[in-house]
Amino acid sequence: MKQEGTTTTRSADDAFSALRELGSVEEMRRFASAGKTPSVRVKVNSHIHLPPNFSAFRSVAEAVELAAEQGVRVLCASNYYDFTVFGEFFAKARSKKIFPLFGTEIIARIDELLTDGVRVNDPGNPGRMYICGKGITAFSPLSRRAGELLGWIRAADEARMAEMIARLGDVFAARGLDVGLTEQAVKERIVRRHGCDIDAVVLQERHVAQAFQEALFEKVPRKDRAAILTKILGVEYTGGPDEAVKIQGEIRAHLLKAGKPAFVAEQFVNYPEARELILQLGGIPCYPTLADGAKVICEYETPVEALIENLQGMDVHMAEMIPIRNRPDVLAEYVTKMRAAGVAVAGGTEHNTLDKIGMEPTCLGGQPVPEEVKDVFREGACVIAAHQFLRLHGECGYVDAEGNPNPDYDSAEDRIQGMAKLGAAVIENYFEKLK
């Protein structure tokens, strides 16, 4: 992780300074009281992954340009475990008149749910939880504790990826194709692809599968690929010889998953540590809801009333949806009920595969998000914007440094509405200064 005095810190400082200079907290509150909001109902996306995270985009510029072309005016980057690209993200977003939000995503475990076989928001792994942080502002420089937690996460991740790459290389070689890939070689491919610093690369399973697929394409002629893949995978490969994404998926499914020959068990922080890291980064703990994105909705999330109780028990006051996974009716049920229970809700696309889906969230099969849900997603994005702005000014945001709800409001409903109005004023002031 980069520390104070580095290019990363200076880039972040530029972003933070520009956002602070939108105005004082008192001025923004006056604007909010006067009803200052964007002149149009802006499109928002509160969750994408930017390279060098595994992503649909080859560059930060591509992501921002696509958002601008498709009319998305508020965009949140939610990267795993490294924030080096956030300075560039801010600069590109400002150049395209897009309001930037900063976020992160963390994988954690809940031991008692693992023991009981309860799936949270990962349909294949009981006890495994994805948790996001929204509106983070304390990522450069890191606090001592944040540095400790991120350092542990990255060290565990790097050890696992190195072992996984070694095992996968052994499987390929034993089954007829020695590709000679190492952890360093996989990282260097990512650096060449995205033009990033190697220290910013956090390897993910998808990166590994992509590197081995690319190496296979480089070494094996088209006409021979199906045969060698059948031998390597241990099952008949029935796809086309050039279907890179399909082959990556087959490598993951048949070689990298639990019980497969190149699988390496993951080590996770526990949920309290993940929540602590989000708060150390100045963010809002936010629960990514899978709902019917699983063939059978995860036990932790059904019925939605039980999910709401679970969120309250974890002191989580914001949730998000990735609607491309969901039917419109299920999405509407979850969003409506969570919002009515005093949980702010955001919506995003992730873009954490190579699929080039649209930048504005849509439902399963490209069906439109219901308008009333879009309104909740806009409100959620405004809450994040307000939190980010307040924390940059040293004040309590949607939640405080311990994750408690902002005490300036009498109820959860007042808090969400009040923060959303403030965030809308902040966003509109940003747009006005870019005219």
Length of the chain: 435
Q: Please tell me the distance from the alpha carbon of residue 384 to that of residue 150, in angstroms, as a whole number.
A: 22
Residue 100 has pLDDT above 80, yes or no: yes
Look at 11-15, 176-180, 231-235 and tell me which has the smallest mean pLDDT.
11-15
Task: Pick the more confident residue, 193 or 258.
Answer: 193
Amino acid at site 298: C
> What average pLDDT does the segment 255-273 reach?
95
Cis bond upstream, residue 405 (ω within 30): no
Share of the chain above pLDDT 70, in %: 98
366-372-378-382 Cα dihedral, nearest 10 degrees: -150
**pLDDT confidence of residue 13:** 86
- Does the structure show a pLDDT above 60 at 170? yes
- Is-contact 324 364, C-beta < 8 A? yes
Q: Which CATH number fits domain 31-140+281-433: 1.20.120.80, 3.30.460.10, 3.90.1170.50, 3.20.20.140?
A: 3.20.20.140
Q: What pLDDT digit, counting tens, does each position of 34-76 carry?
A: 999 987 889 999 999 999 999 999 999 999 999 999 999 999 9
pLDDT per position as a tens digit, 354-386: 998 999 999 999 999 999 999 999 999 999 999
In contact, 39 and 334? CB cutoff 8 Å: no
Contact 82, 370 (CB under 8 A): no
In this structure, are residues 105 and 134 in contact, taking their beta carbons and an 8 Å threshold?
no
Question: How much is the pLDDT for 417?
Answer: 98
DSSP per-residue codes, 16-31: HHHHHTT--HHHHHHH
> Closest by alpha carbon to 322, among 290, 285, 354, 283?
290
Give the position of tokens 């200076």: 10
pLDDT in tens, 392-435: 999 999 999 999 999 999 999 999 999 999 999 999 999 999 98
Average pLDDT over the chain reads 95
Q: What is the rounded distance in angstroms from the CA atom of residue 397 to the CA atom of residue 376?
A: 19
Q: What is the value of pTM for the model shown?
A: 0.94
Helix, strand or coil for residue 173? Answer: helix
Residue 242, pLDDT > 80, answer yes
- pLDDT tens, 197-208? 999 999 999 999
Element (H, E) at 105: strand 99-109
Task: Identify the helix (H) or strand (E) that includes residue 381.
Answer: helix 371-392
Q: 3-state SS of 255-272?
A: HHCCCCCCCCCCCCEEHH
Q: Alpha-carbon distance 10 to 26, whole Å?
A: 27
What letter would DSSP give residue 253?
A: I
Residue 4, pLDDT above cutoff 70: no
DSSP string, 25-69: HHHHHHHHHTT---SS--EEEEEE--TTSS-S-SSHHHHHHHHHH
| Higher-pLDDT residue of 9, 422 | 422
For 170, what's the count of Cα atoms within 13 Å in the CB-facing half-sphere?
A: 10
Domain boundaries, the chain: 31-140+281-433, 150-256
Task: Compute CA distances 375 → 207, 222, 335, 350, whole Å.
Answer: 35, 49, 11, 19
SS3 for 4?
Answer: coil
pLDDT digits (tens, 9 = 90+) for 305-334: 999 999 999 999 999 999 999 999 999 999
CB 49 within 8 A of CB 89: no
What confidence score (pLDDT) does residue 10 get?
A: 64
pLDDT score, position 11: 82
Concatenated DSSP letters for 310-345?
A: HHHHTT--EEEE-GGGS-HHHHHHHHHHHHHTT-EE
The answer to whether residues 373 and 362 touch, using CB atoms and an 8 Å cutoff, is no
pLDDT of residue 8: 56
Q: What pLDDT was estimated at residue 3? A: 38
Q: What is the pLDDT of residue 206?
A: 96
Average pLDDT in the 143-168 region?
96
Tell whether the model's pLDDT for residue 5 goes beyond 50.
Answer: no
